[in-house]
Amino acid sequence: MKYKKVEGGITAAKGYLAAGIFCGIKKCKKDLALVVSKTKAAAAGVYTKNRFQAAPVLVTKEHLAGGFARAIICNSGNANACSGEQGIKDARKMAEVTAFELGLDTTEVAVASTGVIGQYLPMETVEAGIKTVAAQVSADGGHGAAEAIMTTDLVSKEAAYSAEIGGKVVTVGGMAKGSGMICPNMATMLAFVTTDAAISPQMLQQALNYSVDRSYNLITVDGDTSTNDMCLILANGMAGNAVIENEGEDYKLFIELLQKVNTELSQKIVRDGEGATKFLELTVKNAATFDDGRKLAMGILNSNLVKTAFFGEDANWGRIVSAMGQTDVEFYPERVDVFLDDLQVARAGRGLVFDELQAKEIISKTDINILVDLKMGNVDVTAWGCDLSFDYVKINASYRS
């Protein structure tokens, strides 16, 4: 499949408008984003598995139950989580005000929030902000929207690609935020994706589930899953392709295109991990099942001992196999090989004599590849993580201040 990288992020696909503004939730940075489809769009979502689900997550689940939506309103600086009935009322009010300003039904609006947990939204400020941002949406507003959903992020995260599907050029674009509290079960992030592909709500949900499992649910920064995570996608059909209603060739191509965007956004989240100095790409090779490979990969990348070893540039491969052994995955330790880039450090579960200078050179890089070969099956799973640095502790020790 031939991809073309395009500009515009969340508004790269036909028929989408966006904007991001400062409305006063934060002290000075942009804190309110709006994304709008010009026409009715199929909609799908994947949400955090944290039992403390924030009010916007609960409201958005209700609104997207019918499989369609037109807009996404998102604030940063306040999570509207653990806020009880008042939080639910506030999330619904955000949808109501957005719908009124855009001439939509309230259920056509998805709501998202990110920031500090346990505080009530300043609703007068938010409502005034929604009126302002609704008047500013444009086809060039994607970057501003991406900036407005950031919290501890150092950089905004955007991606967009086009490809031919069913004889038509289809575009998928997106934006994401995330830097800390990143772990599977929807990671800890917000991701919003738009496409002009014509696809049924059922197939869109299936495609999103598949893609999330192979992107956002394969990244980790610190092993924490938040209360507000969600990944939403809108598909308005303006590319003009035949509606994708089954698992045919067009569906496979759409999956590839969606995966391209979600993988790039996922990797950008990890690269921006709080205090991160290393980007770790780990492949579990020849696993018996995808689930086994995922569990082992995340067991390794979530290990604080593994993460600190890479921060300290110590080729301590023993921490990798030890982390594997803590999972509930059944495998044969006596078959396991471990590589750091192209340097093999363990064979058949035993350590090798290797060049320490070569190992030091490898792990002193910013990007490090790790390969674990199980020799159990034919499934390969690649996941992404980072190291754990002094700065991570500093950032999270003073998050509210």
DSSP string, 45-111: EEE---SS--HHHHHHHHHGGGSEEEEEEEEESB---S-HHHHHHHHHHHHHHHHHHHT--GGGEEE
Which of 240, 141, 228 shows the shortest CA–CA distance to 191? 228
Rounded CA-CA distance 381/50 in Å is: 24
Three-state secondary-structure class, residue 125: helix
Tokens 């609704």, residue? 134
Q: Which two tokens stand for residue 199?
A: 């696809």
Amino acid identity, position 191: A
Is 188 annotated in the active site? yes
Which of 345, 370, 1, 366 shows the shortest CA–CA distance to 170? 1
From the candidates 60, 151, 188, 225, which is the catalytic residue? 188
Quick check: 400 and 369 in contact, CB under 8 A? no
Which segments of 171-303 does DSSP mark as H helices, in order?
201-213, 249-271, 290-301
Tokens 């502790």, residue? 393
Strand partners, 340: 343, 370
Question: Which residues form the catalytic set?
Answer: 188
